Structure 1
Amino acid sequence: MVRSPLALAALATVAVPGLDAFDVRRPAQPGTDFDIAVVIDATRKRWVVRAPVSAAAGAALEAEVVLLEALDEQVQRGALPFSVARPAGFAHLPEGGRAAVHAEIPGTALAVEHLRPGPGLAASVGRAIAAIHELPTSIVENAGLPVYEPETYRARRQAEVDEAARTGRVPATLLRRWEERLEDVALWRFSPTVVHGDVTGERLLVHDDEVSGVLHWGDACVADPADDLAWLLVAAPPEAAESLMEAYQLRRTELLDPHLADRALLSGELALVRWLLYGVRTKNADVVEDAVSMLEDLDAHTRALDEAEPEPSLA
């Protein structure tokens, strides 16, 4: 059952004592695991209420709440150059679990395709991601979220590729490409860091040409930092991606990872595998066909790049 905006507003008034709801609106980007609404109070302050739609989402929210408390402490210390949505209150749900309410962080979703090279927003994005990767891993461990070592993480990605191969929907050339990279041990020598785990334009808020907030930490873990860079390097204009990576590298204190960008690009490709598997597991034919279409486009793109590479000289 999808909760109405009015029902969510009522939850917000219960969660935050003294909150006098004046108006309520659906967000521009509705969630899938949560019913979400923006509540405007009588003083025009804006609040976001999130109510989980399943027991799994509720459990994820509880772990995220613990993490958000630790992240907010890092914000106060100046370790994070952006805000996080620490809950201001909770309302118990009749079916179990809790809805969480937090003050809305000023900003709009990042339009990554509009990033420009130089010291502006692209550099701010790079510094924001680097700051996440500099956090102590203990804050993720203490929240009970996953922690992966490099070999375990490589095996996890290998298992996903193997499962996707069994669907018969992945081009053989892509499977060979991924197998080669997954078997390259040197590529997977990295120091695990805190990662957000789901970096997209909707997760990164922008205000005055700076990253003002990072939302939705439910997929956070200790794993490969390349995962947080994957979407950015694929979607951003190449010159802006260079500025982003330069700022990222300057912000990291100990970055000895020559294959970071290579793994980030590979992670972007393997995201299509996970989308395909999601469609298969949920029996969603539309998702499966969407994933297959993107995999075919990727296959054509990589084939064209391979054909464009000059043959090695025999001289």
Structure 2
Amino acid sequence: MTILEGWDSHAWIDGPWIHRSPRRPEVRPRLLAEVTLLPWLAPQLPLPVPVPERTADGVRHLLLPGSPLTGGDEALGRELGSFLKALHAVDPAEAVAYGALDAETASATKAVELHEFRTQIVPLLPTEARAAAHELLDRVAAVRNCLIHSDFGPDHILITDGRVTGIIDWTDAVIGDPALDLCWVLNGAPKAVAAGAAEVYQPGPELVERAKDWARLSPWYGVHRGLRLNLPDDVVNGLRGIVSLL
């Protein structure tokens, strides 16, 4: 048996299965929601996703092949663009009925986080940067209109021989801003991957700019964590990152 640990779940591999159990009580309902959401979602997507079943202590699903993405070409980017385009086109009301977190609940949860950013982090920024910081926080809270993965990045994109063989970790699936899923693809992925994804997805200028906003928000999470865990170096480095991206 191989033990794996994640932020939200304990995980272990047993034969062909990967098992996951919640690390905290609030994670449990989102983990169990995958049991209804992903079987409904999988036939609508052009790339494989886990199809979990419930167990006594959480969920399990058959292992998907591949390793986390570390590079890629335009063809791989086109695969990702096609996947996100299909994901963002599914019926959001049906997605909620099958277990995705609804927009109202997701907005309330995000509002708490953004309030902490405003009250704990913005006062630490140089005075001249605070107005832009508040504007950024306003913009990322504004849109919730389709089903999104919410943590779409290289750690959750499995690759075998240069092609995508699975998209994993759906605990955070919500009705939200599609720009969040495009954040890494357009701003952090290799240029060829970004170009291929944009070619297929064809995001408009507003969506591209919101994806940049989500990228600008990235260092805020490091500061937030540093404040909670008393990690002063993380706070200092994160504040520099925030200012550089505003």
The bucket for the TM-score relative to the shorter chain is 0.7 to 0.9
Alpha-carbon distance in 2 for matches of 1:232, 1:172? 32
Choose which of 216, 219, 227 in structure 2 pairs with 1:272.
Answer: 219
Is 1:179 matched with 2:131? no
Is 1:25 matched with 2:2? yes
Question: 1:294 corresponds to which letter in structure 2?
Answer: G
Alpha-carbon distance in 2 for matches of 1:229, 1:110? 16
Alpha-carbon distance in 1 for matches of 2:91, 2:108? 20
Choose which of 50, 61, 68 in structure 2 pairs with 1:85.
Answer: 50
Shift of 1:260: 0.7
Shift of 1:279: 4.0
Return the TM-score normalized by structure 2. 0.83
Shift of 1:234: 2.6
Alpha-carbon distance in 2 for matches of 1:292, 1:163? 17
Alpha-carbon distance in 2 for matches of 1:245, 1:218? 26
User: For the structure 1 residues 58 and 153, does the alpha-carbon distance in structure 2 shift closer, same or farther, using more than 3 Å as the test?
Assistant: closer
Alpha-carbon distance in 1 for matches of 2:161, 2:146? 29
Contact 1:109 1:203 in 2 (8 A): yes
Choose which of 6, 10, 13 in structure 2 pairs with 1:38.
Answer: 13
Shift of 1:152: 8.4
Question: 1:25 corresponds to which letter in structure 2?
Answer: T
> CA offsets per residue over residues 72-112 of structure 1, 9 Å max, x none?
3xx2xxx201122122451x2xxxxx22111001111112x
Question: 1:110 corresponds to which letter in structure 2?
Answer: L
Alpha-carbon distance in 1 for matches of 2:215, 2:244? 16
Equivalent residue number for residue 170 of structure 1: 125
Equivalent residue number for residue 110 of structure 1: 69
Shift of 1:296: 0.3
Equivalent residue number for residue 147 of structure 1: 103
For this pair of structures, how many residues does the alignment match? 244
Equivalent residue number for residue 60 of structure 1: 30
Alpha-carbon distance in 2 for matches of 1:50, 1:125? 25
Contact 2:31 2:171 in 1 (8 A): yes
Is 1:294 matched with 2:238? yes
270-279 vs 57-66, greater mean Cα deviation: 270-279
Alpha-carbon distance in 2 for matches of 1:246, 1:219? 27
Choose which of 156, 179, 186 in structure 2 pairs with 1:233.
Answer: 186
Equivalent residue number for residue 5 of structure 1: none
Higher relative contact order (CA 8 A, sep 6+): 2
Question: 1:136 corresponds to which letter in structure 2?
Answer: D
Contact 1:34 1:51 in 2 (8 A): yes
Identity value in percent: 25
Question: 2:72 corresponds to which letter in structure 1?
Answer: L
Contact 2:32 2:58 in 1 (8 A): no
Contact 1:153 1:223 in 2 (8 A): no
Contact 1:122 1:243 in 2 (8 A): yes
User: For the structure 1 residues 89 and 60, does the alpha-carbon distance in structure 2 shift closer, same or farther, using more than 3 Å as the test?
Assistant: closer
Contact 1:85 1:102 in 2 (8 A): yes
Contact 2:11 2:21 in 1 (8 A): yes
Alpha-carbon distance in 1 for matches of 2:35, 2:102? 15
Is 1:259 matched with 2:229? no
Contact 1:205 1:211 in 2 (8 A): yes
User: For the structure 1 residues 58 and 156, does the alpha-carbon distance in structure 2 shift closer, same or farther, using more than 3 Å as the test?
Assistant: closer
Any idea what SS the aligned residue of 2:205 has? coil
Q: Give unmatched runs, 5+ long, in structure 1.
A: 1-23, 41-45, 93-97, 250-254, 303-315
